[in-house]
Structure 1
């Protein structure tokens, strides 16, 4: 797993940095569809340069996806609560959580639509179907990145930030994503040298392979794949978020953590949410 806090060979580090930058842009709340399709195409090429022969081997594809996700996770731009408040002024905690979930659902839906659009073009030339596994891998990595970022930001909203920094925090977010639960800071060992052990990597690989398989809908002819992939991605992101949100709400009640209400705008009137 690449650790952004440690030195790495210049070529490998530069490639990971570029990959992470592309994924970070794809996770943006308001990336226009045309840019999302361009970024997804760039991600396909960057993943291809990593070597993709393992994607054609079911036994190895899960390991490949795990490595790609764990490489980019430490670089995801998870915003702290102050930044979230600044980006979404006037919302209380529950409204802010709902806004984040809605925006993440739109982002994951947009990635599915972008993948379907790219696929619709590729159906016109049979040889390009050889790149289909790479496109599905790119969509899987991008959507999981959106959801990991959402998991991290929901923890901020509910007053239990994911422990650690860099790779350690990324591993804790991955565990929360895989278990569809919040990170419990009261559990011994959480946030202290967190690592993905062999069993955890195997479980994560199985989850990612199921996501990879679900994304086959992207390859539907014409633009039917885009519509179905968009719907399924949005639904999966919402389902994950609802489970994590419910667990974090329970943790906050148990710990007695409550944020003060969001301050009103000047004049005592809260701004209308966008």
Structure 2
């Protein structure tokens, strides 16, 4: 018999829907603000249901959160180099990396604004305030998925191939996200199908840090939306720069010529434009 605090898997239909929602929210689909908000709210409800199964003890230390993310990671839509070239014809590796960075920054900004707006609504309605954490968890997982997708596609853009099947590559990508670094191709041969204890600890730590950042969006009126968008924009931009520096160096080890490095041209911080 399962005791309270032991992680319980969600029913297959719930787990599938969570994966689909996170996949759409982290993908290239052009979602309007209202649709994105509804999808985040639905994801929050599913996460609340799963959290109740995990129990109070299961929520401690970020273990449950990291298990949920590891479960959905293989469902994050990642484009290979051929697809990226088809979607962005004629771009050099650096130009492609800049475009991927710009897209990811815009995506996490939009998710932060939508999540912050939801949190702001709950702040103004005290009886519903207890639902806010689930919304923040939903935003955290979607932002983590967007940034993991960015890391995976940056590796493709720089010609850094990670060996193994889809599940193995997904674990490598979320480990790279947890460490905020690129994957060294000279060390990738040691990757396994699962996460080691050090990688699990790094993932829990990174998810909790991201969750803590999103908790600052709990404010009245539109302050949550502005804060959520701005904080996500800065964090995703910083992550992209760190990973791109690693991959440019690893590409040099492999003898790849990516052309001159140019700083990414990104829009200035600020509230997202109105629909």
TM-score (ref. length: structure 1): 0.84
How do 1:125-136 and structure 2 match up within 5 A? Answer: 125-136=125-136
How do 1:95-174 and structure 2 match up within 5 A? Answer: 95-174=95-174
1:197: how far off? 2.1
**Contact kept? 1:178, 1:207, Cα under 8 Å:** yes
In 2, distance between residues paired with 1:155 and 1:231?
26
DSSP 3-state at the match of 1:220: coil
1:110: how far off? 0.6
In 1, distance between residues paired with 2:85 and 2:48?
38
**Contact kept? 1:40, 1:138, Cα under 8 Å:** yes
**Match of residue 182 from structure 1:** 182
DSSP 3-state at the match of 2:164: coil
**1:38 aligns to 2:3 (yes or no):** no
TM-score (ref. length: structure 2): 0.84
Q: Which deviates the most, 48-57 or 194-203? A: 48-57
**Contact kept? 1:74, 1:166, Cα under 8 Å:** yes
How do 1:226-241 and structure 2 match up within 5 A? Answer: 226-241=225-240
In 1, distance between residues paired with 2:208 and 2:175?
16
**1:207 aligns to 2:197 (yes or no):** no
In 1, distance between residues paired with 2:188 and 2:113?
42
**Match of residue 251 from structure 2:** 252
Per-residue CA deviation, residues 157-213 of structure 1 (Å, 9 max, x unaligned), is: 00013332232111100111122221122116434x242123322222122111111
In 1, distance between residues paired with 2:235 and 2:188?
30
1:78: how far off? 0.2
In 1, distance between residues paired with 2:229 and 2:53?
27
**Contact kept? 1:151, 1:176, Cα under 8 Å:** yes
Give aligned pairs, total.
251
1:248: how far off? 0.4
Q: What is the RMSD computed on CA atoms of the aligned residues?
A: 2.3
DSSP 3-state at the match of 2:121: helix
CA gap of 1:259–1:245, structure 2 versus 1, over 3 A, is closer
CA gap of 1:54–1:14, structure 2 versus 1, over 3 A, is closer
DSSP 3-state at the match of 2:141: helix
DSSP 3-state at the match of 1:218: coil
**Contact kept? 2:109, 2:233, Cα under 8 Å:** yes
**Match of residue 194 from structure 2:** 195
1:58: how far off? 9.7
**Contact kept? 1:172, 1:190, Cα under 8 Å:** no
How do 1:36-75 and structure 2 match up within 5 A? Answer: 36-52=36-52, 60-75=60-75
CA gap of 1:18–1:210, structure 2 versus 1, over 3 A, is same
**Match of residue 15 from structure 2:** 16
In structure 1, list runs of 5 or more residues that go unmatched.
1-9, 261-274
**Contact kept? 2:58, 2:64, Cα under 8 Å:** no
**Contact kept? 2:106, 2:233, Cα under 8 Å:** yes
In 2, distance between residues paired with 1:215 and 1:100?
23
